[in-house]
A and B are shown apart, each in its own frame.
Chain A
Amino acid sequence: MFLTLTFAYALAYGVVQSMQAGSGAYRGGFTLQHYRSVLGDGEFLISLGATISVAVIATLISNVLGALLAFAMLRAGAHGKLLQRVLQLPVILPHLIVVIMVIHIFSQTGVLARLAWWVGFIDNPNQFPLLVYDRLAIGIMLVYLYKQVPFVALLAYDTLRGISGKYAEVAANLGASPWQTSTQVYLPLLKPTIIGTSLITFAFAFGAFEVPFLLGTPVWRTLPVESYLLYTNIEPLARTHAMVINVLISAISLTIAGLYFGVESFLNRRQKGGEV
C-alpha cells in the first residue's frame, strides 16, 4: 500500500533530478568542447582543489571533535544533558547569523583583535592576522565547525546513549578499562552514525553557497560560488560554463555518496559477521 506511494514519490524525485541534470547537459550543448575548456581553465582547477580541501578538512575536524565531545558529554552525565540543550542552538542558527558572529569575533577589528590590542600584542588592526576573507578560508572553516561540531556531537550523543549500558557493564566485568570500553565497544557501534554525519558534513561543506560567498577572498572561489557568478554573468558563454560546473559538482557529490554507501554496507556486513 505504502509501497506504491513510495515508488511514485521516488519516481517524481528522480524526474525532478534528471530534469535538473538534463537542463545542465543541454546547456552544455551535447558537446564535450565546453567540458574541455572548463576543465582546462586554471581558475576552475584551483576552485576545485580548494573546495575539496576545505570540505575534507571541515569534515575531518568536525567529526573527530564532535565524536570526542559526545564521549565527554556521555561521561559528564547531567552536565552533558545541559550541553545537549545548549548545542541545539548552533544547529538552529542559520549560516548567515554564524557568519555575522564570526566576523564580530575574528576580524581584524573584532573582539579577539581588541583583546590583543589591550594586552599589547598589536598596535593597529593590520597587525592582527587576517582570519576572515582570507586565502586559507579560516573564517569559512570556523563557521562550518561552529555548525557541524554540535550537529555531529548531538547525533553521536544520541547514539551513545541509545547503546545499552549493559555492553559497558559486560566489558567492565570482563576486566576492560574505560579506554578499552570506549574503543572496542562504543566506537564500533558509533561508526554508522559517524559515517552518516561525515557524508552530510562533506556534502554540505562542498556545496555550500552563502558562507563562502560572504566570507571568501576574491583570490579564489569555491565551486558553487564560481558556478553562481558565471551563471549570473552576462557573457554568453558564462552560463554554459556554469552549467558544466554544476554537472561536474553533481558528479563529484554522487561519487562521494556512492563511495560512502559502499563503505557503509561493507562495514555492516563485517559487523554482522563478527557479532559480539
Chain B
Amino acid sequence: MLKRLTIGLLIAALFALTIGCAAQPTLTTGPSEFADALRSARGKTVTFYGWGGSSAVNNWFDNIVAPSLLAEYGITLRRVPMNIDEILRKLATEKQANRVSGDIDVIWINGENFYAAKTQELLYGPFNTRIDNFNRLIDPQAADTNYDFGIPIEGMSVPLGRAQLIFMADRARLAAFPTSAARLLELARANPGRFTYPAPPDFTGSAFVRNIIYDIVGFEALNNAPAEKAAIQAVIQPALDFLNELEPYLWERGTTYPADVAALDRMFAEGQLLWSMSYTPLKAGQLIAEGRVPTSVETFVFDKGNIGNTHYVAIPFNAPNKDAAFVLIHHLISVAMQAAKLDVGNWGDLPVVDLARLDASERALIENTNIGQGVLPMDELLRRRLPEVHARKVAIIEELWREQVLQR
C-alpha cells in the first residue's frame, strides 16, 4: 500500500518536472504618480537586494534607512545580501521561467551589470521622473544622471551615491606619496615588495589599472577608442608596459596579486604594505576610527585625477511591490539619508544630491556631516574626478591585463 503510494507520488513528481508551467500570468505595472505610490505602499514590505559584504553599508541600510522609512512612510525594509551577479542570474532565470512576481523590489547596481540587466530586459522602467525627490534634488543634466559607465540610463535607474578611487598611505612611514604613475615606480623601486594592487577583475583593482591608463595615456584617448580588443590594446600599450616594468618591485615580485581589495587593506593595516586603495572615498576615516590604522594615515589621489563612478538603484521587471520600491528610492535620495550616508561613522559615500538645488538648512546638513580624519574634502575629490569609460571596454582591459601583465 505504502509502496504503491510512494511510486505514485514519484511518478507524479516526474510528470510535474516535464510538463512545466501551464498558465501565462502577466507582470504588474507600477504606480503612474508618486502620490499613488505613497498611498498604496503604506504597510507593505519592500525587499532590497544588494552586495552585503560591507558592514558599514549594511549598517546604514538596517539602522538608519529602515527605521526612518518605517517611521515616515509605514514601510518595512527587508534587506537581502546577494552579489550582483547572483541577483542578475536569478532575474534572468526568472525571466526565462516567466516568473511574473519575484522576490526583489529594488536592486543596487551599476556599470557592466546595469548594461547586462538593461540589454537582457531585466529591469522595470523608465521610472525615475515618477519619484518626487529625483525631480527635486537630482541634477538632470549631470553626466551620471544620464550615463552609467558610458551607457545611456534612459530612466531605468536612479543614482544612489558616488564613489571614487582613492589611495591611502601612512605619512609616518612614507614621507612622499606617489601622486602619479612615475612616482609610484620610483617609490616601488626604493621600497621593493611594499606595494601592490588587487588583481582585476576585482572592482578596485580594475579601477586602479584604468587609473594608471588615464595617467599615462589620458582619459580621452581611451574614451575615443572603439570597444574592440586590438584597438584598445594599441591605445593602452604604454600603460601595460608600465605595469610590467613595475611588476618586479611589487609584493611577491608580482608573481601573484591579492585577490581582492580586502586582502590589500589587511596587509596595509598590518604594515606589510605601504599603501592601500579603496572605492570608498572616506575609507581612511573609517579605518582610523576603527583603530585599524594609525591617525597618521592620509588619503590622496593622483595629480591628474582619479576615477569616480556612481552607483544606482533600479527596479526589477518582476518586482512585486513597485509602489513600495518608489517610496524606498525616494527616501534613499533624500537629503537626510544622503547626509547620513556621507557620515564617516555610517558609510562614507558621497551624496548624489545637487548642492545647488538645496536650501540653506539642507546644505548645512551635508556640509556639517562628519567625514572623519585623514580624508580629502568633498570638493577636492570632485575636482580631481575622472569619468568611467564604457563598460565593454572595462571587460576588455581586464582581459588584456590578465594576458599581458599577469601571465608574463
Q: At the interface with chain A, which of B83-91, B129-137, B164-172?
A: B83-91
Nearest-CB residue, chain A, relative to B406: A219
Which residues of chain A are within 8 angstroms of B86 by Cβ–Cβ distance?
Answer: 232
A175–chain B nearest beta-carbon distance, Å: 56
**B6 touching A234 by the CB < 8 A rule?**
no
Per-residue CB proximity of A202-233 to B under 8 Å, as 1/0?
A: 00000000000000111100000000000111
Given A130-B252, A234-B113: A218 touches B199 (CB 8 Å cut-off): yes
Partner of B406, one of A133, A218, A232: A218
B49–chain A nearest beta-carbon distance, Å: 15
**A217 touching B271 by the CB < 8 A rule?**
no
- CB under 8 Å from chain A, chain B span 239-275: 251-252, 255-259, 263, 266-267, 270-272
A45–chain B nearest beta-carbon distance, Å: 13
Which residues of chain A are within 8 angstroms of B272 by Cβ–Cβ distance?
Answer: 108-109, 124-126
B289–chain A nearest beta-carbon distance, Å: 22
B77–chain A nearest beta-carbon distance, Å: 26
Which residues of chain A are within 8 angstroms of B13 by Cβ–Cβ distance?
Answer: 12
Best-surrounded residue of B251, B256, B406 (most CB of chain A within 10 A): B256
Knowing that A5-B7, A125-B272, A126-B272 touch, tell me 12 more A-B residue pairs with CB under 8 angstroms.
Answer: A4-B7, A8-B10, A11-B10, A12-B10, A12-B14, A108-B267, A130-B256, A134-B256, A218-B406, A219-B255, A219-B257, A232-B83
In angstroms, Cα B263 to Cα A255, docked, is 38
**A234 touching B88 by the CB < 8 A rule?**
yes
B17 in the interface (beta carbon within 8 A):
yes
B17–chain A nearest beta-carbon distance, Å: 7
B188–chain A nearest beta-carbon distance, Å: 13
A9 in the interface (beta carbon within 8 A):
yes
Size of the B side of the interface (Cβ < 8 Å), in residues, is: 35
A237 in the interface (beta carbon within 8 A):
no
**B17 touching A232 by the CB < 8 A rule?**
no
Which residues of chain B are within 8 angstroms of A232 by Cβ–Cβ distance?
Answer: 83, 85-86, 89
**A234 touching B17 by the CB < 8 A rule?**
no
- CB under 8 Å from chain B, chain A span 1-51: 1-2, 4-5, 8-9, 11-12, 15, 19
A140–chain B nearest beta-carbon distance, Å: 13
Per-residue CB proximity of B1-39 to A under 8 Å, as 1/0?
A: 001001100110110010000000000000000000000
In angstroms, Cα B96 to Cα A204, docked, is 32
A95 in the interface (beta carbon within 8 A):
no
Which residues of chain B are within 8 angstroms of A275 by Cβ–Cβ distance?
Answer: none
**A5 touching B259 by the CB < 8 A rule?**
no
**A217 touching B251 by the CB < 8 A rule?**
no
**A234 touching B7 by the CB < 8 A rule?**
no
Which residues of chain B are within 8 angstroms of A133 by Cβ–Cβ distance?
Answer: 256, 258-259, 263
Nearest-CB residue, chain B, relative to A213: B259
5 A-B contact pairs sorted by A residue (CB < 8 Å): A8-B10, A8-B11, A15-B14, A126-B193, A135-B255
Partner of B251, one of A11, A126, A135, A234: A126
Partner of B6, one of A8, A124, A235: A8
Which residues of chain A are within 8 angstroms of B270 by Cβ–Cβ distance?
Answer: 109, 125
Nearest-CB residue, chain B, relative to A231: B89
- CB under 8 Å from chain A, chain B span 156-194: 193-194
Which residues of chain B are within 8 angstroms of A12 by Cβ–Cβ distance?
Answer: 10, 13-14
Nearest-CB residue, chain A, relative to B10: A8
**B259 touching A234 by the CB < 8 A rule?**
no
Partner of A19, one of B10, B17, B194, B406: B17
Per-residue CB proximity of B70-97 to A under 8 Å, as 1/0?
A: 0000000000000101101100000000
Which residues of chain A are within 8 angstroms of B85 by Cβ–Cβ distance?
Answer: 232-234
**A234 touching B112 by the CB < 8 A rule?**
yes
In angstroms, Cα B258 to Cα A126, docked, is 13
Nearest-CB residue, chain B, relative to A1: B3
Closest CB pairs A-B (n = 7): A218-B199, A232-B85, A234-B116, A125-B272, A109-B270, A126-B193, A8-B10
**A217 touching B256 by the CB < 8 A rule?**
yes
Nearest-CB residue, chain B, relative to A125: B272
